[in-house]
Structure 1
Amino acid sequence: MKRITSILFAVLLITSCNTAQNKTTEQKSNTTKVMDNLKTTAKKAQQAFFGDYDAEGVKRYFKTDYIQHNPHVPTGIEPVLGFLPVLEKAQTTYTTHRILQDGDFIIFHNSYDNAEAFGAKEVVTFDVWRMEDGQVAEHWDNITPKATQTASGRSQVDGPTQITDLDKTASNKTIVSNFVNDVLFGKAPEKITDYISTEQYDQHNPLVKDGLAGLTEAIAYLTSQNDMFIYKKTHKVLGEGNFVLTMSEGEWHGKPHAFYDLFRLENDKIVEHWDVIEEIPSEMAHNNGKF
């Protein structure tokens, strides 16, 4: 009798474990589906706006009370709709190089052609959208003209695109947050090698060469010119797996600037960096602020 009871208990224990495992697997699968669906919706919204110049598509994918943080565009959906004829006339096109998701936030690393409406024929941007009820509810961006030459020989958008290490998203965001606080804010710059790999640091900022040596050289030069980037506040740290984006404000050239920095990590070290830096104007087309 004891033997039968033991066998029954073992069967029940295995069944319970399998059920729990199946539920966990199902939950992970459902989470992945939701994330994929949100990215797909964001892609459709982007295509409706920048690809098809489609007013009905914009109305479908953008909320009526859409909140705008681009300094030059009024808030709400109407300015978005009013912008469509301008984009269509210029035949503005986009290329998405990376798309990341952090909860309800979708991050696009884009380049645009025929983009005079954004300040130059070719521009590079980070666009961050907050999604709500399957629509775009809020938008932040940073825009810069595309550079024809760079110190590293890399472009502002090339490099790896594959998202890996999803289980390390939180820890990678912590590493980058600590790097920003210690190094970019100047609280403990001597810790730089705690965060950036001494073996590989691929640089996409047009003015900075590869490697720690390139970064050190750029910092020394800017400091000698009394023109070093000054980071004052980080508003958002968003990431997915091996990619982490920080959205910060500070000063450069003695003027307020927004700094969007994208980092790629491997084995708990920063190994690659892209950025877009944009001056923050004193007057904006809305009261929402840049951040």
Structure 2
Amino acid sequence: MSENSVAERNRELVLRGFKEFAAGNVDILRTLLREDFVEHSPGNPSGRDAFVEFIANSPVARSRLDLKRIVADAEYVVVHYHMDTGDGGRGHAVVDLWRLVDGQIVEHWDVVQPVPESSDVPNGMF
């Protein structure tokens, strides 16, 4: 399989998973994550089952997720989105970086940043 077709397959896999998760299907993660999944975010557990349980009980599972962009290569998929937790605030800008091997997610990194007043970001967060 060419590098471009692997990148497109991984992009579509993560995009489908993002859409399912955003619609409330936390269990989609069980099909996407490899059992020995490695998490790099502080405080989040590694391992598929521990990570899914953690995420199911976190604010992200109850948030509105508005996808802004997705970028992929043969090994990594990057997702940039607006997470609105419904608390009346401006939400968070989130970038997730997923590493895939053989059609499954094996590693994850993220960057989460509160969305400031629009006057503080003249070019916008998204």
TM-score, normalised to structure 2, is: 0.81
Partner of 2:96: 127
What root-mean-square deviation, in Å, do the aligned CA atoms of Structure 1 and Structure 2 show?
2.5
Q: Which structure has greater strand proportion?
A: 2
Partner of 1:99: 70
Q: In 1, are the aligned partners of 2:4 and 2:74 still within 8 Å (CA)?
A: no
Partner of 2:7: 35
TM-score, normalised to structure 1, is: 0.38
The answer to whether structure 1 residue 75 and structure 2 residue 46 are counterparts is yes
- Using the TM superposition, give the Cα deviation of residue 53 of structure 1 relative to its aligned residue in structure 2, in angstroms: 2.8
SS at match of 2:110: strand
2:25 to 39, 48, 53: 53
Aligned length, in residue pairs: 124
- Using the TM superposition, give the Cα deviation of residue 136 of structure 1 relative to its aligned residue in structure 2, in angstroms: 0.9
Q: In 2, are the aligned partners of 1:45 and 1:62 still within 8 Å (CA)?
A: no
The correspondence of residues 176-255 of structure 1 with structure 2, limited to 5 A, is: none
- AA partner of residue 93 (structure 1): R
Q: Which structure has greater helix proportion?
A: 1
Asked which structure has the greater CA Rg, the reply is 1
Q: In 1, are the aligned partners of 2:3 and 2:73 still within 8 Å (CA)?
A: no
The 1:107/1:61 distance shift into structure 2, 3 A limit, reads same
The answer to whether structure 1 residue 147 and structure 2 residue 122 are counterparts is no
Q: Percent identity?
A: 19
2:125 to 141, 156, 162: 156
SS at match of 1:75: coil
Partner of 1:66: 37
- Using the TM superposition, give the Cα deviation of residue 134 of structure 1 relative to its aligned residue in structure 2, in angstroms: 0.5
Q: In 2, are the aligned partners of 1:66 and 1:76 still within 8 Å (CA)?
A: yes
Q: 5+ unaligned residues in a row in structure 1: which ranges?
A: 1-26, 158-291
SS at match of 1:70: coil
SS at match of 2:51: helix
- AA partner of residue 39 (structure 1): R
Q: 5+ unaligned residues in a row in structure 2: which ranges?
A: none
The 1:151/1:52 distance shift into structure 2, 3 A limit, reads closer
Partner of 1:242: none
Between the aligned partners of 1:79 and 1:142, the Cα distance in structure 2 is: 20
- AA partner of residue 76 (structure 1): G
